[in-house]
Every structure is written in C-alpha cells, then in structure tokens.
Amino acid sequence: DQQVKQNSPSLSVQEGRISILNCDYTNSMFDYFLWYKKYPAEGPTFLISISSIKDKNEDGRFTVFLNKSAKHLSLHIVPSQPGDSAVYFCAASAENYGGSQGNLIFGKGTKLSVKP
Amino acid sequence: DGGITQSPKYLFRKEGQNVTLSCEQNLNHDAMYWYRQDPGQGLRLIYYSQIVNDFQKGDIAEGYSVSREKKESFPLTVTSAQKNPTAFYLCASGQGIVRMNTEAFFGQGTRLTVV
C-alpha cells in the first residue's frame, strides 16, 4: 500500500510557465515533507521541505504548499526553465513510523519536461 | 569537500555471485541509508543505520546485507539470494539519530547489472 503517491508520472510545461507537481499521502502521522530532484544516473538532490506546522514554504522559484486536511502537497516552480527538467520525488517522514523513526517514504516520482 | 561517495558507478555481476557496493560519507552524519530505484518505482528502502554497529531492515531487505563498523562507511552486499538484483542503488546519509528531519544527502548511485 503506497503511502506517498505521485499520480502523474510525467508533466510537460513550456519554458516560463508554472510547473505544478502534486503529491498525496495517506499516513496522518507524516509531519515533514521534502521534495527531491533527480537527473538520470545521478543521486537525488534536496530541493525544498515543509513541516506540518506550516502550509507554505518558499525558496526562490520553488514553493511548496501543504494542505493537511486533504493530505496533499504540491511543488510550484515559477518560472519553469529547461534546466528544471528532471524527475521530482516527493518524500514524507514521521517522528514515529513503526520502527523506522524519521525514515523517508518516497513517491514514485514525476518526470518534468520543460520545453524551450 | 564534504559529501557522500558511492563506488563503483557501474558494476556487473555474474548470476550467483555476491557483490559489495561501497558508500562513504565525511559529513559526520549518524544515519545512513540504502535505497533501490527501479524504473517506474520510487526509492525503496533496503537497510538503514542510525548509529554505528546498529542497522535495521527496510522494506525490501531480503537478499541484502549491510555492516556499520565505522560512522563513515555503510557497505551493502547484494547476495545471490536477491532474486532481481539489477537496479540503481542509492546510498544516503542524514543528521540526527532518531529523526531525519533535515534533508538526506545522496551519493551518485551505483548501477548494478547482473549478466
């Protein structure tokens, strides 16, 4: 049973427009969420995070929104650039998650393509 | 430069052989993790270690083994018991013992191919 879901495997956006990547989760114990960016044949790199005590966190072109009641978060990239083309993983963490305290649970990723 | 290093980048193994993937970090992180990535899948946790000389199974530990004799090192052995070992393996480290509430730092990954 997938606890972190990224239902869109791919997204294509024109350069300069907004990219919106979505993520849903089912475990209400998750209280910390992160987005990672991954290029082919490389390790993921951290992009932005949000704690459950907030509903928005912004860092430059990247903003993450959290809707706890809907168990939904989204990553907005404005404006999108061709260099943003990558796979984006949503991840969630809980202070107490069985025996795996603090471990990250990843979604399957969304491949973003930004066209010039 | 601080970072996390995986080696080798590409690895080929004959069916039935064990192989060990290296992961070293100089970030002074307590926690280290091994993930596996398959096409169309998210990152799945194989093993993790939150402190030296201690490690725990993740979601897909069968056919794998690890050790954590030093804080800096967390090697992963893919044994012949792993039914489908061909994959991209990622090592990560993070701060803190109990809670990885900061970002994880990932290595560049090792692509393992069984031939």
State chain B's mean pLDDT as an integer.
Answer: 89
Q: What is the mean pLDDT of each run of 10 residues along chain A (116 residues)?
A: 89 98 94 91 89 93 97 98 96 66 81 96
**CA B60 → CA A43, A60, B16, B46, distances in Å?**
19, 37, 19, 5
Choose among A6, A102, A106: nearest Cβ to B100: A102
Check residue B115 and give its pLDDT.
Answer: 86
- List the Cα angle A3/A95/B33 in 5-degree steps: 75
Ramachandran area for residue A99 (φ above 0: left; ψ -120 to 50: alpha; else beta) = alpha
Q: Residue B96 — very low, low, confident or very high, per pLDDT cuts 50/70/90?
A: low
- E strands present in chain A: 4-5, 10-14, 19-25, 32-38, 45-51, 56-59, 62-67, 72-77, 86-93, 105-106, 110-115
**Is the distance from CB of B68 to CB of B14 less than 8 angstroms?**
no
- Interface contacts (A, B; CB < 8 Å): 75
- Considering only CB atoms, which chain A residues are within 8 Å of B4? 43
> What is the C-alpha to C-alpha distance for residues A82 and A114, in angstroms, rounded to an integer?
5
Q: Looking only at Cα atoms, what is the longest distance across chain A?
A: 46
- Considering only CB atoms, which chain B residues are within 8 Å of A106? 35, 42-44
Identify the residue among B32, B47, B100, B111 best suited for mutation to test binding to A, counting A beta carbons within 10 A and taking the highest.
B100
Check residue B103 and give its pLDDT.
Answer: 75
Residues 6+ apart with CB under 8 A from A40: none
Q: What is the CA radius of gyration of chain B?
A: 13
Check residue B99 and give its pLDDT.
Answer: 45
Check residue B95 and give its pLDDT.
Answer: 76
Please say if the pLDDT value at position B98 is more than 60. Answer: no
Chain A closest-CA separation from residue B80 CA (Å):
24
CB contact under 8 A, A89 and B42: yes
CB contact under 8 A, A100 and B100: no
Burial grade of A5 (CB within 10 A; 0-12, 13-18, 19 or more): middle
Residues 6+ apart with CB under 8 A from A13: A19, A80, A112, A113, A114, A115
At B28-61, the pLDDT tens digits run 988 899 999 988 788 898 999 988 999 999 889 9
Check residue A5 and give its pLDDT.
Answer: 94
Q: What proportion of chain B, given as a percentage, has pLDDT over 70?
A: 92
Check residue A99 and give its pLDDT.
Answer: 46
Check residue B101 and give its pLDDT.
Answer: 52
Check residue B51 and give its pLDDT.
Answer: 87
Check residue B26 and give its pLDDT.
Answer: 95
Check residue A85 and give its pLDDT.
Answer: 97
- List the alpha helices (DSSP H) in B2-112: none
Window from A99-113, B14-28, B75-89 with minimum mean pLDDT:
A99-113
CB contact under 8 A, B106 and A43: yes
Check residue B5 and give its pLDDT.
Answer: 94
Two tokens at A84?
Answer: 């943003």
Report helix, strand or coil for B19: strand
Give chain B's contact residues with A (Cβ, < 8 Å): 4, 6, 31, 33, 35, 40-45, 48, 50, 56, 58, 88, 90, 92, 94, 96, 98-109, 111
